[in-house]
C-alpha cells in the first residue's frame, strides 16, 4: 500500500553467530532511522542492516520501529527456529505470506478503529500485529471466510503447536475478537479457552545492588532516568512520557498522566532526586518531554533498555534484570520498610490489591521472621 512502511525482521547466521536482519523498502528517512538504532550495522555481504541477536532484541527493535508507527513483521522469530544448514538459507524461515494490499488497508482501518475506542497505543499495535498474523495465516490456508473453525485451526497450528507463550495466546485471542467486532461479523462460538498465566515471582534487587547500578551509571541522562524509575516505581512507558511540569518539587510528588488503563495517579518524588533532576534539567534543558531523544521526541524505551543493559555489566550484576525489575524492587523495598500494602498499590497504580500482594512473596522481611526448624535440632 502506498505510504505504508514495513520493517521485516528475520534470522541471519554469520560465522556461527545468530543475527537479526532488518529489511525494508529503500527509503532515505527509514535508512537514517535504522542507522540511529544502537548496535545496528550494515553488511555488504548480505546487503542488509543487522544487529546481534539476544533474548530481548526483538522486543527492543519492535518498540524502536513502533515508535514511528511502522508495521513490524517479526513472524520469522515466532516460529520454532534452528540454525539453517547454510547461512544463505535463512529466508526459508518465512512460512506466512506477506499481507496483500487489501490486507494492509484492513489492518490500517482496524488500527484506527481501535484508537477511536481509546485503546492504549501499545494495545493498538499489539492487536494489529497479531491480527495481521491471523490474516496472513488465512491467506496461506486459502481460507476466505473467518469462522470458529479457522480461528481454532490458527490457534492450534500457529500458537499451540509452536509452543507460543500463554501471554501471546491471550493477545491473539483478544486481537481476533476485536477484529471480528470491527468487521461486524457474526460467527458462532469458538472453543478457545484463555489459559491461565504462569504465576512467576518477580526478580528483585537488593538496595546494595540498586545502588551499585546507579553508581556505575556515568551518563547524566541515564542516571536520572534509572534513578527516577526506581525511586518512583515507574513503568518505563510512564517514565519516558513524563513532561517537565509533571514534577512537583514543592509537594514531593510526580504526576503520572494516562498510565495503564488511562488512569492518572501521583507517586513519590524522593527528596534526593530533586538535586539530580535539577542538574539534569539545567544541562539538557528538555522542552517537551522530561527525557528527550535526539530529535526532541520522547526518549525511546529501546534506548532506556540499552542503557540499563550496558550498566549492568559495569555494576557486576549477574541476575536477569530489566527496567521493570527496578519497579519490582521499589515496591518490595517499601514493603520491607513497613509501608502499608494499600499505599504501595496506589503508588504503583494497580487496580487490584491482588496484583500488589505478589510482593509479599519476595519480601525478605517476611521470610526472615520465620523460624527454621533446622536451627532447633
State the first-to-last Cα distance of the chain, in angstroms, to the nearest integer.
74
Strand stretches in 112-187, DSSP E: none
Q: In a 3-state reduction of DSSP, which class is residue 19?
A: strand
Q: Give, in order, the Cα–Cα distances in Å from 344 to each of 138, 259, 339, 351.
A: 46, 16, 7, 12
**CB distance 76 to 94 below 8 Å:** yes
Among 164, 177, 260, 309, the active-site one is: 260
- Catalytic residue list contains 350: yes
Phi-psi region of 96 (alpha: psi -120 to 50; beta: other; left: phi over 0): beta
- Catalytic residue list contains 327: yes
96 vs 58: CA distance, rounded Å: 18
210 vs 272: CA distance, rounded Å: 15
Q: What dihedral do alpha carbons 309, 314, 315, 316 form, nearest 10°?
A: 90
- Catalytic residue list contains 69: no
**CB distance 348 to 331 below 8 Å:** yes
Q: In a 3-state reduction of DSSP, which class is residue 255?
A: strand
Whole-number CA gyration radius for the chain: 23
- Catalytic residue list contains 257: no
Among 136, 221, 223, 235, the active-site one is: 235
Residue count of the chain, please give it: 377
**CB distance 46 to 116 below 8 Å:** no
Cβ density class 33-44: b for 16+ within 10 Å, e for less? bbeebeebeeee
Closest of 41, 43, 53 to residue 9, by C-alpha? 53
Half-sphere exposure of residue 333: CA atoms within 13 angstroms, side-chain side: 18
DSSP secondary structure of 213-238: HHHT--SHHHHHHHHHHHHHT--HHH
What are the grid coordinates assigned to 317, written together? Answer: 550484576
- Catalytic residue list contains 2: no
Q: Give, in order, the Cα–Cα distances in Å from 28 to each of 33, 34, 261.
A: 9, 10, 37
- Catalytic residue list contains 235: yes
Residues annotated as part of the active site: 235, 260, 324, 327, 350, 359
Amino acid at each position: 500500500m502506498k505510504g505504508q512502511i514495513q520493517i521485516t525482521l528475520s534470522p541471519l547466521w554469520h560465522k556461527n553467530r545468530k543475527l537479526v536482519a532488518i529489511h525494508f523498502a529503500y527509503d532515505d528517512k527509514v535508512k537514517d532511522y535504522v542507522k540511529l538504532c544502537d548496535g545496528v550495522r550494515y553488511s555488504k555481504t548480505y546487503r542488509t542492516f543487522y544487529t546481534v541477536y539476544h533474548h530481548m532484541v526483538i522486543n527492543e527493535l519492535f518498540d524502536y520501529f513502533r515508535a514511528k508507527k511502522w508495521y513490524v513483521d517479526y513472524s520469522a522469530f515466532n516460529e520454532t527456529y534452528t540454525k539453517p544448514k547454510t547461512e544463505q538459507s535463512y529466508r526459508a524461515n518465512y512460512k506466512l505470506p506477506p499481507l496483500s494490499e487489501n490486507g494492509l488497508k484492513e489492518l490500517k482501518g482496524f488500527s484506527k478503529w481501535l484508537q477511536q475506542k481509546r485503546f492504549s497505543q501499545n494495545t493498538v499495535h499489539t492487536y494489529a500485529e497479531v491480527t495481521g498474523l491471523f490474516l496472513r495465516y488465512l491467506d496461506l490456508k486459502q481460507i476466505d471466510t473467518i469462522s470458529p473453525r479457522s480461528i481454532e485451526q490458527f490457534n492450534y497450528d500457529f500458537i499451540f503447536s509452536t509452543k507460543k507463550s500463554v501471554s501471546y495466546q491471550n493477545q491473539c485471542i483478544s486481537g481476533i475478537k476485536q477484529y471480528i467486532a470491527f468487521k461486524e461479523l457474526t460467527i458462532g462460538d469458538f472453543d478457545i479457552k484463555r489459559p491461565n498465566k504462569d504465576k512467576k515471582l518477580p526478580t528483585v534487587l537488593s538496595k546494595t545492588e540498586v545502588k551499585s547500578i546507579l553508581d556505575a551509571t556515568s551518563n547524566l541522562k541515564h542516571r536520572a532516568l534509572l534513578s527516577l524509575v526506581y525511586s518512583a516505581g515507574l513503568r518505563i512507558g510512564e517514565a519516558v512520557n513524563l513532561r517537565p511540569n509533571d514534577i512537583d518539587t514543592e509537594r514531593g510528588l510526580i504526576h503520572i498522566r494516562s498510565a495503564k488503563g488511562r488512569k492518572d495517579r501521583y507517586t513519590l518524588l524522593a527528596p534526593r532526586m530533586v538535586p539530580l533532576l535539577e542538574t539534569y534539567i539545567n544541562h539538557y534543558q528538555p522542552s517537551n518531554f522530561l527525557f528527550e531523544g535526539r530529535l526532541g521526541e520522547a526518549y525511546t524505551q529501546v534506548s532506556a533498555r540499552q542503557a540499563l543493559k550496558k550498566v549492568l555489566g559495569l555494576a557486576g550484576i549477574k541476575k536477569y534484570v530489566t527496567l521493570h525489575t527496578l519497579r519490582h524492587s521499589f515496591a518490595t523495598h517499601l514493603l520491607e520498610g513497613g509501608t502499608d500494602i494499600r499505599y504501595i498499590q496506589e503508588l504503583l497504580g494497580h487496580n487490584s490489591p491482588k496484583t500488589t500482594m505478589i510482593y509479599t512473596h519476595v519480601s525478605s522481611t517476611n521470610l526472615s521472621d520465620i523460624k527454621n526448624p533446622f536451627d532447633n535440632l
